[in-house]
Amino acid sequence: MPEIVERFPLRGYHFSYDAFKESNVDIKLIHKLRQDHRLISCSCHSVEDLKAAKEITDYQFISPLFDSISKTGYKAGIDLHELSRFLAEHNTATFGLGGMDEQTIHHLKNTGLSGAVVLGIIWKQFAEDADVKKAVQRYILLRETIAQVAQ
């Protein structure tokens, strides 16, 4: 088991998808995490990745759904219609990320995603201006937008 999981009372462990490719996942580690009642998550970059990861993980992240705000050149790569079809057919907790802002978040309404992860819209501007008040305002606006979309 990775040292950090053994050393601290963490609730789970997050794998990169590379750990699952070509059977590189450590089955002993998976069994140990399960025995210790720890959650397992994974980063996925296609619906095909989700298909494989859902068998082993408790939840997955899929990205990039939209062009990244914080990573220059990291372009949208997920077909939202294909993702919606997959999630409608499989009971799996999946969270979307990549390029989330007040406009793009509306496109997620009927996808079946369990939630959205927002990073760049809050922190990229903060890195430039270090204005905590504006970062909190961006968060509140996104939270309100997500609540509207969820209705």
Give the pLDDT band of residue 134 (cuts 50, 70, 90).
confident
Name the 3-class secondary structure at 127.
helix
Give the type of residue at 110.
N
Q: How far apart are CA 78 and CA 47, in angstroms?
A: 8
For 32-69, the pLDDT digits (tens) are: 888 888 899 999 999 999 988 888 889 999 999 999 88
CA proximity to 96, closest of 84, 140, 85: 84
- Tell me the percentage of the chain whose pLDDT exceeds 70: 95
